[in-house]
Structure 1
Amino acid sequence: NLQYLSMAYVNTFSIKGLQYLAAGKGCRKLSYLDISGCTQVNTDGMKFIAECCPFLNTILLNDLASLKDEAIMQLVNGCRNLRAISLQGTNSLSDHSFQYISQLKKLRKLRIEGRNNLITDTSIKALGRNCLELNHIYLVDCPRLTDLSIKALAPCRQLNYLNVADCVRISDTGVRHVVEGPASSKLKELNLSNCIRISDVTLLRIAQRCTELQRASFCFCEHVTDAGAELMGGLSNLVSIDLSGCFIQDQGLMALGNNSKFRKIDLAECSTISDFGVQVMCQHCRDLLSLDLSHCVLITDNAVKSIAFCCRLLKSLKLGGCSQVKMIFISQISNQQPPKHS
């Protein structure tokens, strides 16, 4: 009756062991399997897994840099009930693998992270066409993906989480298909970090259509400005935003204060924000749990004093690189206030 099995980063078992599993009956009801980091698992090993786990619905295949397309084919052929696949750091798979994965009609969660120079729009088109129940999609650091991939995901009406961080060829044009598509009102998390072609145009569309959005990241989207920040401040369900490295000034920072529900705000390397903007924002965002102002070089002790006075629930405060903030002052504030700082 075993249903959950993790052998992550265990390199002491061999393919023979997987063959024993296939020959026995103990894993027939297995629904969750983690073999991340088990680099000894090859195509034959995946075949044995597919044979012994017909009801598998979640598999983690992280950090398997040498895993081949043929292994994914064997997995898909035997495990037709898969709903979640994680491929973090498994970057040797090509479009062929994802064409096989697209045959899994019940697939709901797919996680691809780690630089993959092989996967193209062809893969995402197949997924968008066949896996209509997808609700979590992570396509992180896949530099060959373009706006055509995002357009292909528009038919996925159940989409809640979309992460295309570091996909540098994606622009406003592509993201529009999702944020104005049938899933726009269901989208809860959107990560466009380091998508350098994204601008305030996308944030405008998000503000208009993605009313349930809770977490958003536009880290190092250099074309995102105060205008975009003002729009995000109007999203009443948004509790976390990352605008690190964006062109945000005090005006945008103060506009974030329009949403008192914020729990986490990251503004690292927004080098033009000052004490005044931080003071106004903190007067309204009093329930903040985490604030990152690393390398905001204009910040001084006055901003830290306002943070300590207004944000009594703060647990994490990052001030690395803020050269005008004195460590002695931080120590004094820490004795009155519990936030952790770095």
Structure 2
Amino acid sequence: MCHFPLGFFYFFQVFSNNDEAPINKKLPKELLLRIFSYLDVVTLCRCAQVSKAWNILALDGSNWQKIDLFNFQTDIEGRVVEHISKRCGGFLRLLSLRGCLSVGDAAMKTFAQNCRNIEHLNLNGCTKITDSTCTSLSKFCPKLKHLDLTSCVSITNHSLKALSEGCRSLENLNISWCDQITRDGVEALVRGCGGLKALFLRGCTQLDDDALKHLQKYCPELVTINMQSCTQVTDEGLVLLCRGCHKLQTLCISGCSSITDASLTALGLNCPRLKILEAARCSHVTDAGFAVLARNCHELEKMDLEECILVSILSHCELITDDGIRHLSSSTCGQEHLQVVELDNCPLITDLTLEHLKSCHHLERIELYDCQQVTRAGIKRIRAHLPEIKVHAYFAPVTPPPSVHGGGQRLCRCCIIL
């Protein structure tokens, strides 16, 4: 759907404000219907008010295959969803009710009964939704592929069991912050939805290693999994997951504080397609684990290692040295895929790091805030070698010890953005 210029809309309105208008006689209904198919929800509603003929065409179900009501969330109540479902029927493929706090189970039951071809459904933040909605989806919506239940806090294991029984085409499920979900729910889900490719479990704090064992057993197609803040997950579960899910490309284990190098080694040895790893606050991982990743995961593009204090390649880690960057830059993933390096507040980094990074030919940006041993000359040299690169460097003011006369002099170093 797209927004047509207002002038276009008003032109049509002027020349078609009755059913006998020339435009309605000259243009076949099929062509007008095709034009309407490019309009967004607001413009379609305006067109529906122009004339009886346009009302029929604008509200034709074929124009309402994809609907996103996020911008109207404060006005959307259950009856609106019911009306839309009756109007769209089997045409509707995608519906986003993200943030629509007033929508409840009764409206969603009517929706499921009428829109049996729905494939993408976003209920993020619909806090009135309970297991009853998932039961309805299970009964009437077998084609459902993408379902977002983020922050639907009343959802329990019963919902996952229902989805497993009736929505076996499910590929992408987000149950983040549904903190009543346990290992039993995950087991029930994956027994029927073995084709899952993406699973988001952020904030599901009751999940443990047994949940990952079920994923390893039933979901070999898994590409993305987010377990942020699943604090009960340990190396035991993650190692098993890696051994069964070789297609894994995106993994978030941020906040899983028990994870160690054993998990990183398992990733490196079993998941060669890994592109994104978020491991913030995993304070037990070290350079040794990431060395295995660098040697084996040649498609690695992004890592979030915030507060991984034993890893030398990370902003705000005071132990990072030029040698750590040398290992990164000499690896295949560094030379062929690395695009951004953030080294903020790394006091041991020198111009030698910039010399190492010259071999990373796809590098687009380097962050060097408050790396006091990096000089303008070093930045100038890497810019000469990689002319398209952006270097952001900010050096905090340095105040030397006061002189014997008590008149210390402040030396200011400024922000450099090249």
Q: What's the TM-score bracket when you normalise by the shorter of the two chains?
A: 0.7 to 0.9
Aligned pair 1:315/2:338, yes or no? yes
Q: Give the alignment partner of residue 261 of structure 1, picking from 261, 268, 273.
A: 273
Q: 1:308, CA displacement in angstroms?
A: 2.0
Residue equivalent to 2:123: 112
Residue equivalent to 2:404: none
Matches within 5 A, 1:273-292: 273-292=285-304
- Percentage of pairs with the same residue: 26
TM-score, structure 2 as length reference: 0.68
- Structure 1 residues 330 and 124 mapped into 2: Cα distance closer, same or farther (>3 Å)? farther
Moved more, 304-313 or 154-163: 304-313
Mapped to 2, the partners of 1:77 and 1:295 lie a distance apart of: 51
Residue equivalent to 1:203: 212
- Structure 1 residues 245 and 101 mapped into 2: Cα distance closer, same or farther (>3 Å)? same
Residue equivalent to 2:184: 173
Matches within 5 A, 1:119-138: 119-138=129-148
Q: 1:332, CA displacement in angstroms?
A: 4.2
- Structure 1 residues 191 and 286 mapped into 2: Cα distance closer, same or farther (>3 Å)? same
Q: Deviations over 1:96-116 (max 9, x none)?
A: 331122121111111122x33
Equivalent pair of 1:295/1:319 in contact (CA under 8 Å): no
Instruction: Give the residue type in structure 1 aligned to 2:301.
Output: L
Aligned pair 1:54/2:61, yes or no? yes
Q: 1:303, CA displacement in angstroms?
A: 4.1
Aligned pair 1:65/2:73, yes or no? yes
Q: After the TM superposition, which parts of structure 1 deviate over 6 Å for at least 4 consecutive aligned residues?
A: 20-24, 48-51
Residue equivalent to 2:231: 222
- Structure 1 residues 21 and 99 mapped into 2: Cα distance closer, same or farther (>3 Å)? farther
Residue equivalent to 2:2: 6
Q: 1:281, CA displacement in angstroms?
A: 2.2
Structure 2 gap ranges (5+):
50-54, 313-320, 368-418
Q: 1:314, CA displacement in angstroms?
A: 2.8
Q: 1:201, CA displacement in angstroms?
A: 0.9
Equivalent pair of 2:174/2:201 in contact (CA under 8 Å): yes
Equivalent pair of 2:212/2:240 in contact (CA under 8 Å): yes
Residue equivalent to 1:190: 199
Mapped to 2, the partners of 1:243 and 1:77 lie a distance apart of: 42
Equivalent pair of 1:63/1:87 in contact (CA under 8 Å): no
Matches within 5 A, 1:213-252: 213-234=222-243, 235-246=245-256, 247-252=258-263
Mapped to 1, the partners of 2:18 and 2:324 lie a distance apart of: 62
Moved more, 217-226 or 321-330: 321-330
Greater Cα radius of gyration, structure 1 or 2: 2
Residue equivalent to 1:93: 103
Q: Deviations over 1:72-114 (max 9, x none)?
A: 111111111211112233333222331122121111111122x
Q: 1:49, CA displacement in angstroms?
A: 9.1
Aligned Cα RMSD in Å?
Answer: 3.2
Q: Deviations over 1:252-283 (max 9, x none)?
A: 11111112221222212211111121112212
Mapped to 2, the partners of 1:124 and 1:321 lie a distance apart of: 46
- Greater fraction of residues in helix: 2
Q: Deviations over 1:20-51 (max 9, x none)?
A: 9998867645556644xx6xx89x99xx7996
Instruction: Give the residue type in structure 2 aligned to 1:172.
Output: R
Q: 1:69, CA displacement in angstroms?
A: 1.2
